[in-house]
């Protein structure tokens, strides 16, 4: 006996078609990291590198950029973040040469060019670059990417700041956000996937 207008087989077919349609409207999440595409502006800056060169965002065109804010006298967040990022780069294999880590100092008074250079090269001389500028430039850059920090007080050496890392693709578009809770494997997988997609 037929079940209504379509029968049992027809009803099952319609259910299957509906499930497939809904899955098509709600595709599986592409990234494990938090996506920032469309939520943060493109990479834009004009600063000085730890080698004394004037650099801009255009200097790193063609590279995947991992940008974060910190300072060389930071005791916990910065060395931990740099250690993790350099380890992530090593996990990228052949993609490592297409990747740069940019540390923007929040302590321009103490982080001289020489101090920045010694600091970043101690982690990875080939992939990590220290960047510095006047206080207003750094403040504007931090605001541009909504990076929270509190400048040091006169009676303290501490600068309270976020440990978030901003990932920009090879064209300087904001793509992903890395937090301390993301595992090295998770970050490396997403970055590898992103770099692979940029080759297509």
Q: Tens digit of pLDDT for each residue in 95-106? A: 999 999 999 999
CA 137 – CA 139 distance, rounded (Å)? 5
The pTM score is 0.82
pLDDT tens-digit series, residues 49-92: 999 999 999 999 999 999 999 999 998 899 999 999 999 999 99
Give the per-residue pLDDT at 154.
Answer: 60
pLDDT over 90 at 161, yes or no: no
State residue 9's pLDDT score. Answer: 46
Q: Does 20 score more than 50 pLDDT?
A: no
Question: What's the whole-number average pLDDT of the chain?
Answer: 85
Q: What is the 3-state secondary structure (H, E, C) of 113-150?
A: HHHHHHHHHHHHCCCEEEEECCHHHHHHHHHHCCCCEE
Percent of the chain residues past pLDDT 90, beyond the cut: 70
Q: What is the pLDDT of residue 1?
A: 44
At residue 4 the predicted structure's pLDDT band, cuts being 50, 70 and 90, is: very low
């Amino acid at each position: 006996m037929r079940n209504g207008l379509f029968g049992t087989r027809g009803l099952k077919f319609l259910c299957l078609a509906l499930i497939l349609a809904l899955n098509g409207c709600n595709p599986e999440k592409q990234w494990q990291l938090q996506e920032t595409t469309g939520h943060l502006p493109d990479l834009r800056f004009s600063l000085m590198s730890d080698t004394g060169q004037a650099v801009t965002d255009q200097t790193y065109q063609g590279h995947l950029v991992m940008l974060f804010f910190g300072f060389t006298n930071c005791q916990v967040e910065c060395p931990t973040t740099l250690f993790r990022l350099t380890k992530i780069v090593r996990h990228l294999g052949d993609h490592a040469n297409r990747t740069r880590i940019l540390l923007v100092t929040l302590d321009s008074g103490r982080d001289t060019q020489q101090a920045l250079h010694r600091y970043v090269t101690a982690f990875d001389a080939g992939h990590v670059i220290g960047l510095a500028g006047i206080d207003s430039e750094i403040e504007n850059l931090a605001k541009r990417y909504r990076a929270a920090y509190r400048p040091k007080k006169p009676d303290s050496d501490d600068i309270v700041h976020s440990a978030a890392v901003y990932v920009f693709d090879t064209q300087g578009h904001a793509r992903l956000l890395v937090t301390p809770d993301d595992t090295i494997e998770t970050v490396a997988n997403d970055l590898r996937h992103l770099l692979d997609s940029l080759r297509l």
